[in-house]
Structure 1
């Protein structure tokens, strides 16, 4: 027999999947993994130090909470409405026509009496709050939104709208969303930057819950509240908005706020007509804002007890509603009628005037409510009337009146609230298609541009400027109002006497950085005494110009970083 060949185990190759071979491959890959970690580490460090995981979780909680709050708010409005209309739907005008004359006249008066009592006895600040207060809280962290004032303001708005006051529900809902988000931020003791992101989360969820428009809710939070599109804020806002939308859709259904008819643009030759509609919408938007400002000025100069203001305002609104019940409440029924072309041109024009007057009276009388729904209302009426006129002049070229009503809604609303991108998205989501996109863009752009040329600001920014806060001028305008002299003061070990009558400049710890910089500039001094808050004869420290400038520059850098990361 032939001898068997000897087998050398050392010559047998090791299987490719042996643990030794796998370990060798892992060891060889370590330098690459280390290099990758050095590349990932700064991003991960920023992700964790800015507490993004916590913000994502809080955004989910805020979205569901705001969704629940929106459901409760809308049902509360319906409950108050049931008392005098025997109807809880949004068909307010139809229900009002079935009521006696005196019910329509007196219902807003009763609501005004309740609102006056709440303002006198319960509401801090003696006025209902809205979108402008949310923007102020974002710009001025020291002016946080109190939970009590937020809930009371929502209650006042629900009473107002439930009893027929001519205003919108979106503004109160936005403030309620901000109130809920601020509560989470305070409980978790978050910093200013994280608190602002959560504030936007609550606002986005509130807008989406009101209109069932999640994309527009995200954009509104960025455009109107934050004033920037930082990537770090995008994910939490989306989480909050989507969660709030899901909850409200489960309760109210999938349909949007308005019933949009089938529409079609007949010809591209209509685009000049769309551009002219933008001009007309701008005039309406400016006229609406001037009416609101004028009515507010008149109300401030009338010597009347606080509780009497909403009562008298309610009587005036009720008197208008006896002839034009379409102006009652948020007015969604009338908007739908305009979209379907069921209103005559005379009624469309009349409602444009009467809704402007009724809303100006409502808000000047201290009722709660916003301006977004009235702006949509005025846009629908304006566009509907314009469409009927266009159809009578060019019957072969003009699209349906509903097309012009939709375009008018976007144009007037964007001009009033100063949010063209968000408004385009709202209308886009309401219509559910691209058909009107180009026409909507040109109409909104022209209306918004002319409004800025004539009025220079949105209604919210006007409200803030009345309080001395110029947000639209840039962060350098309001950052100097946030910092205080106490933050830059160099304290003395032992307080020293000071003569305030000597003519030497001095500051107090509560003075703003803006005041300090002006005092430095006026006197040309590099060091100024800081006296005790309630006793100008005792010097407790010094304020140095270099420290003040360093504080201002640091605040600008932080604001710039927040806007771009």
Structure 2
């Protein structure tokens, strides 16, 4: 088996592996597109005419199909893969943050199948989530098979994610930046070449099968006057507010189902009923929504229709994701942005006729602005829209709009839609190399197993005699079965020293120990231990197994030493790799 080392030959081989990841992911992304067509055809006889379903089919079928899809998907997800609910990108980020880039391969498989079924029956979710999951799984699998270090597992996972986005939108730069800005919480420029080559390879595969045409029907763009920039700034503000509403709505929908007490397996069916009833009048809310984007970009929707569909698409997506339908939120963000921009541009055009761009132009900019707000990834949003147009005139208004949207969300809310889901699961996503290194270091690997304890029935005289002979300032107090019951320190003993003669054989450890003890588990990571040490100003933590038994002691000095040695080792390897 090939073994990793930071030599020049191996670094070239790593680039070849990145190409393989892009190739495999591109092929699988194309396969997923065909799977979507197949599953949509199972529910709707004409999958290319989703916007006319309320005209082609009886009303009861329009309502029944999403309900039936929900009844099918809900039990399947609960039975086989509960983690497949909702968007797939947060699970990929979680793998980077907490599992060193290791992806559960069965989750990627089930995510693919369940998303295809969800979109097929009309759920308002995106198709990019499972493609990112597929690509990340490919990259993670190769890294694990080759037995690469944790750092390279994360990089190849990001390579797969970039390839997935690139193949989905025919946009290699957007895929590369998506991986760098959203997936990798610890991005370093020296890995950019690997991510870029995966994205380019996947795009070539996509071009081979689907052609080089953009995903949407892009209008020509022209910045009529620099006086338009304040209007784009106002659109950015509205996009930020819409992004906050969207993020909060997804969480609120999930909380509502929980508060009402609806079992998980029935939630998609209830959301499906809501989707079906709305689709009777406005089928634009069904599925991914790319047809709706194209209508907004080609000025085929009036202001009133765009405004109504904007509101209903927001409700439909929040209900679909909150109920547990499997799918992404990147595409719905694009739909919401196109509708918001269209409404804003058409309204402003009536106020300033002939002095500004078309409503379609504002719709195009709005797509990027809402993506920037919901993901807090403005560079990804900017390049996604730029790669659709390849028009440099769009850069200045697009940057203005996206940055203002980003700042609005940061000031009002503070988290992306992906971070929100992770926070609700108890995973705090912090950017930075040091934090992610702490999360790879487990307490159980660095705790001291050579320590002294005190029995809870040991008398004061024996405790003092033991403390005089020991160099330990703290003693864990255990019961007869070795379970931790308290901690005893010299400060606990100090108040009894004046009465030692009278109490030496009367007072036992359990009467003077500190009973409320802060502990850590062997599988806790160093970030948790650092937070405890910093917040509580203590120097020693008992390490306790799940059964209550004391298994070790973690000293603050040992933690700092282990961390510093690991940092030094990484820096030395980086320098060696850079010289060769």
TM-score norm. by structure 2 comes to: 0.83
* C-alpha RMSD of matched pairs (Å): 2.7
1:174 aligns with 2:132: yes
Correspondence for 1:76: 35
Asked if the contact 1:471–1:477 (Cα under 8 Å) also holds between the matched residues in 2, the reply is: no
Cα separation, partners in 2 of 1:224 and 1:268, compared to 1, 3 Å: same
Asked if the contact 1:129–1:150 (Cα under 8 Å) also holds between the matched residues in 2, the reply is: no
Cα separation, partners in 2 of 1:502 and 1:167, compared to 1, 3 Å: closer
1:254 deviates by: 1.0
Correspondence for 2:553: 542
1:512 to 487, 507, 525: 525
Counterpart Cα distance in 2 of 1:239 and 1:154: 24
Counterpart Cα distance in 2 of 1:411 and 1:430: 15
Cα separation, partners in 2 of 1:263 and 1:192, compared to 1, 3 Å: same
Provide Cα deviations, 1:280-307, integer angstroms capped at 9, x if missing partner. Answer: 1112111111211211211222312222
Correspondence for 2:344: 386
1:364 aligns with 2:348: no
Aligned pairs for 1:39-438 within 5 A = 46-48=6-8, 51-89=10-48, 91-95=49-53, 97-125=55-83, 127-128=85-86, 130-141=88-99, 144-227=102-185, 229-438=187-396
Cα separation, partners in 2 of 1:379 and 1:160, compared to 1, 3 Å: same
Provide Cα deviations, 1:257-294, integer angstroms capped at 9, x if missing partner. Answer: 10112232222222221111111111211111121121
Correspondence for 1:503: 487
Task: Report the 3-state secondary structure (helix = DSSP H, G, I; strand = E; otherwise coil) of the residue aligned with 1:542.
Answer: strand
Cα separation, partners in 2 of 1:410 and 1:555, compared to 1, 3 Å: farther
1:143 deviates by: 7.2
Greater shift in the superposed pair: 466-475 or 141-150: 466-475
Counterpart Cα distance in 1 of 2:70 and 2:92: 25
Cα separation, partners in 2 of 1:563 and 1:210, compared to 1, 3 Å: farther
Correspondence for 2:514: none
Counterpart Cα distance in 1 of 2:566 and 2:425: 22
Counterpart Cα distance in 2 of 1:45 and 1:166: 46
Cα separation, partners in 2 of 1:398 and 1:463, compared to 1, 3 Å: same
Asked if the contact 1:230–1:563 (Cα under 8 Å) also holds between the matched residues in 2, the reply is: no
Counterpart Cα distance in 2 of 1:164 and 1:562: 51
1:329 deviates by: 0.5
Counterpart Cα distance in 1 of 2:435 and 2:155: 21
Counterpart Cα distance in 1 of 2:86 and 2:354: 49
Counterpart Cα distance in 2 of 1:377 and 1:523: 48
Provide Cα deviations, 1:465-486, integer angstroms capped at 9, x if missing partner. Answer: 2222222464555554443221
Task: Report the 3-state secondary structure (helix = DSSP H, G, I; strand = E; otherwise coil) of the residue aligned with 1:173.
Answer: helix
Provide Cα deviations, 1:424-444, integer angstroms capped at 9, x if missing partner. Answer: 001001012112111111111
Counterpart Cα distance in 1 of 2:388 and 2:257: 36
Cα separation, partners in 2 of 1:273 and 1:541, compared to 1, 3 Å: closer
Correspondence for 1:8: none
Cα separation, partners in 2 of 1:420 and 1:550, compared to 1, 3 Å: same
Provide Cα deviations, 1:284-336, integer angstroms capped at 9, x if missing partner. Answer: 11111121121121122231222211111111111111111001111111111
Aligned pairs, number: 518
Task: Report the 3-state secondary structure (helix = DSSP H, G, I; strand = E; otherwise coil) of the residue aligned with 2:280.
Answer: helix
Asked if the contact 1:85–1:99 (Cα under 8 Å) also holds between the matched residues in 2, the reply is: no
Asked if the contact 1:168–1:371 (Cα under 8 Å) also holds between the matched residues in 2, the reply is: yes
Correspondence for 2:507: none
Cα separation, partners in 2 of 1:557 and 1:219, compared to 1, 3 Å: farther
Task: Report the 3-state secondary structure (helix = DSSP H, G, I; strand = E; otherwise coil) of the residue aligned with 1:368.
Answer: coil
**Structure 2 unpaired stretches of 5+:** 456-477, 489-516
Cα separation, partners in 2 of 1:390 and 1:540, compared to 1, 3 Å: closer
Asked if the contact 1:230–1:562 (Cα under 8 Å) also holds between the matched residues in 2, the reply is: no
Asked if the contact 2:53–2:283 (Cα under 8 Å) also holds between the matched residues in 1, the reply is: no
